[in-house]
Amino acid sequence: MQNVAIVELGGKGVFVKEIETELLNGSIDIAVHSMKDVPVELPPGLEMVAYPEREDPRDVLVTRNNVKFEELRRGARIGTGSLRRRMQLLNAMPDLAVMPLRGNVMTRIKKIETDELDGIVLAAAGMRRIGLQHLVSQYLDPDLMVPAAGQGVLGIEIRADDNDLRERLSFLNHEETVIEIKAERSFLRRLGGGCQVPIAGFARLKGRMLKIRGIVGTPDGRRLVDDTLRGGRDEAEKLGEALADSLLDKGAGEILAME
């Protein structure tokens, strides 16, 4: 259903709903998700029990002739299905023509030719996981393109009453990734935003210092509310909530109300 927007299909939860149904009815025991696709509220009876080490969280640009972002021509046609990417692309270069894009990675890459696009923006993690990093024209610095909350993170979900499996999977947990994803998801939860409003949220742990940046904006990139907070590694959830409160105080609530 590549001609239908994600928001019309039911939002990001559409990617995980069927898998979670199988988990709840006992057909499977373990679900593996890309955390940027997982709603902040899980269905009753399910629990995220492990987060392996985070893959590269950045976004990447794949272009004709290996052109870099700063070299794009005026009016360049860039494909993405993400409102978050659209918001930041247009904020940085208002004269871009951002085109809707759906499908798996190879389908999107082929559309550079079939849809006469100058380039597309994808997640680095997806390109690396399927061995297509050689096609990347540019890794976009997180200061230029703030990643989505959970980007590059896998989440392992089980039934909440399966204590034996929880213990057996605990070795997969990566401590630094757990701290970052806690901050990012508490940020999203506090905002209460859905798919209709672009939201970026990215936490990075260095030593004992945790830094998290968040953006809420309009899809046309004309209005952005942006802030960054820092705190200790043991303050992840509080820091995420504090960042959300800061953005709400700056006007993010008004933007979110447009959903």
Percent composition of the chain: helix, strand, coil (DSSP 3-state, to 5): 40, 25, 35
Rg of the chain over Cα atoms, rounded to whole angstroms, equals 18
What residues pair up with 225 in beta bridges, in sequence order? 216
Which of 29, 37, 141, 226 is an active site residue? 37
Residues 122/128/134/140 CA torsion (nearest 10 deg): 40
Query: Is 143 marked active-site?
Result: no
CA distance 13 to 109: 24
> Comparing C-alpha atoms, which of 209, 106, 84 is closest to residue 150?
84
Please identify every residue annotated as catalytic: 37
